[in-house]
Amino acid sequence: MFFASDNGGQAAPEVMDAIVKANSGTAMPYGADPIMDRVRAKIREVFEAPEAAIYLVATGTAANSLALATLVQPWQTIYCHRHAHIEADECGAPEFYTGGSKLTLIDGADGKIPADALQTVISETGAVGVHGVQKGALSITNATESGTVYTPAEVAALTSIAKAHNVPTHMDGARFANALVRLGCTPAELTWKAGVDILSFGGTKNGLMGVEAVILFNPDLAWEFELRRKRGGHLFSKHRFLSAQMEAYLTDDLWLKLARKANAAADRLAKGILSVPGASLTHPVEANAIFASWPRKGHRAAQAAEAKYYHWPFDQSLEGPDDEMISARLVCNWATSDAEIDQFLQLISG
C-alpha cells in the first residue's frame, strides 16, 4: 500500500524495454542521437508547436530551475504560489541556478494563484526602484501541489496579467499529463495557446525511469538554455537513454494512458475515504493526489500495516483520541491497483 508519492512507483514496461533496446551499438552523445530527433518531432506535433525547442534533463528540479534561469536575471523575482514545488521542495535550486532571483510567494486556495492577487503583487513590484527586486517571471504548477488543476481559461487569465507587465510564464508540469487528461483539452490549449512560454513536461512521476522535457515555445531562448544546462551539469553524455524513455512515453499516447490510470485510482481511493464516517477532503481531487482527513484510529491501523503516505501537515501524532481527525496526503501512480486501494480502505474503515 504505497501512496507516499507517484515518483515512488514503477517505470512502465514499455519504457524499460525502450531503454534496453537503446543499449545496442553506438550513438552520438549529448542529444545528437537519432532517437532525440524523433522525440523533438513528436513533441512539436503533440503540442502543435513546430518551432519549439526541446531539451531533456533527468530531474524535475533541473527542469524547473534551468527553465526559470533562462527567463530571469538575478535582480528579478519569480512569482509563484506559497506552496509551489519551487518554493517548498527544491532546496533553493531555483535561486541557485538563477543566481539569486527572489521568489515572491502568493497565497491562494487549493494551490492556485488568484488572478487579482497576482495583479496586485506584480503592480507593486519595483515600486522603490533600484532598492527592490524587479519584475521577472511567473511560475504556475499544473497539476498543483494541492492536487488541483488550472483550466486553460485560468492559465490565460494569469498569463495575460503577466504579459501586460512584460513578465514571461513558466509552467511546472511535473504532473502535466494528469491535469491534461482530467481537463480533456489539448496540450497546446493548456500551454502556449494560453500564454505559457516554457513548460517543464514531467515524466518521472508518470511512469518514466527518470527524465523530464523542457519545452521552450519561444526558440529564441534555446541557446541560453543549452549553455545553462551544460554549465549546470545537466547535459547527459549517454543522452540516448533519456531520449529512449521519452520516445516510449509519447508512443501510442502511453503518457496519457498512464495518467488516466493514476487519476482513476485517485478517484477510487477518494470515494472510499469519503465513505469513512467523519472523513472529508481538504482539496478537490482533480488529478492523482488526495488530501483528506479521517479518524486517528484508521491512521493507526493503516500505518501498523505499513501503508506508506504522509500526514499533511507532517507534525500530527498517532497519539491521542481515536476519533480525532488527522489529515494526510496520498498520491496514486499508474500502477496503483484496486486491491491495494481496497486493502487500505478496509484498514482505515475498521
Q: For 281-304, what is the HEC assignment?
A: ECCCCCCCEEEEEEEHHHHHHHHH
Residue 43 lies in a domain: yes
Shared domain for 29 and 109, answered yes or no, is yes
Shared domain for 248 and 278, answered yes or no, is no
pLDDT exceeds 90 at position 26: yes
Shared domain for 220 and 260, answered yes or no, is no
pLDDT tens, position by position, 106-128:
999 999 999 999 999 999 999 99
Q: Is 152:121 a contact under the CB 8 Å cutoff?
A: no
Q: Report the pLDDT averaged over residues 265-294.
A: 97
Helix, strand, or coil here: 103? strand
Shared domain for 283 and 228, answered yes or no, is no
Out of 223, 252, 281, a domain closes at 252
Q: Is 290:269 a contact under the CB 8 Å cutoff?
A: yes
Shared domain for 244 and 275, answered yes or no, is no
Q: Report the pLDDT averaged over residues 28-50.
A: 97
For residue 141, give the nearest of 212, 76, 69, 196 by alpha carbon: 196
Out of 205, 227, 252, a domain closes at 252
What residues contact 125, with CB distance under 8 A and at least 6 apart? 77, 104, 132, 133, 134, 135
Shared domain for 182 and 42, answered yes or no, is yes
Q: Report the pLDDT averaged over residues 164-178.
A: 98
CB atoms within 10 A of CB 138: 30
Q: How confident is the model at residue 315 (pLDDT cuts 50, 70, 90)?
A: confident
pLDDT tens, position by position, 124-164:
999 999 999 999 999 999 999 999 999 999 999 999 999 99
Residue 282 lies in a domain: yes
Distance of CA 157 to the CA centre of its chain: 20
Q: Is 141:172 a contact under the CB 8 Å cutoff?
A: yes
pLDDT exceeds 80 at position 34: yes
Tell me what pLDDT residue 350 has. Answer: 76
Tell me what pLDDT residue 87 has. Answer: 97
pLDDT exceeds 90 at position 302: yes
Q: Cis ω on the peptide bond leading into residue 289 (within 30° of 0)?
A: no
Measure CA of the first residue to CA of the last residue in the chain; give whole Å. 16
Burial class (CB in 10 A: 0-12, 13-18, 19+), 16: middle
Residue 101 lies in a domain: yes
Sheet holding 198-201, edge to edge: 53-57, 212-216, 198-201, 169-173, 134-141, 76-81, 102-106
Tell me what pLDDT residue 180 has. Answer: 98
- Alpha helix ranges (H) inside the chain: 13-22, 34-46, 60-71, 85-88, 93-98, 115-124, 152-164, 176-183, 187-190, 222-231, 240-250, 254-274, 296-304, 338-349
Please state whether beta strands 134-141 and 169-173 pair in parallel, antiparallel, or not at all (unpaired).
Answer: parallel
Q: Report the pLDDT averaged over residues 180-190.
A: 98
Shared domain for 150 and 32, answered yes or no, is yes
Shared domain for 118 and 186, answered yes or no, is yes
Residue 6 lies in a domain: no
Torsion from C-alpha of 267, 269, 275, 276, nearest 10 degrees: -150
Which of 10-19, 271-280, 287-296, 316-325 has the lowest average pLDDT?
316-325
Residue 4 lies in a domain: no
At 59, give phi and psi (nearest 5°): -135, 155
Cell digits for 27? 550513438
What global pTM score does this model have? 0.96
d(CA 98, CA 215): 18
Range of the domain at 327: 255-349
Count of domains in the chain?
2
Residue 159 sits in a domain of what CATH number?
A: 3.40.640.10
Shared domain for 38 and 92, answered yes or no, is yes
pLDDT tens, position by position, 62-105:
999 999 999 999 999 999 999 999 999 999 999 999 999 999 99
Shared domain for 271 and 188, answered yes or no, is no
Please state whether beta strands 102-106 and 134-141 pair in parallel, antiparallel, or not at all (unpaired).
Answer: unpaired
Shared domain for 179 and 154, answered yes or no, is yes
Q: Tell me which of 197 and 318 has the higher pLDDT.
A: 197
Residue 260 sits in a domain of what CATH number?
A: 3.90.1150.10
Tell me what pLDDT residue 316 has. Answer: 86
How far lies 16's CA from each of 73, 89, 203, in Å?
Answer: 39, 28, 13
Residue 1 lies in a domain: no
How far lies 126's CA from each of 56, 106, 107, 118, 169, in Å?
Answer: 34, 16, 20, 14, 18
Shared domain for 282 and 310, answered yes or no, is yes
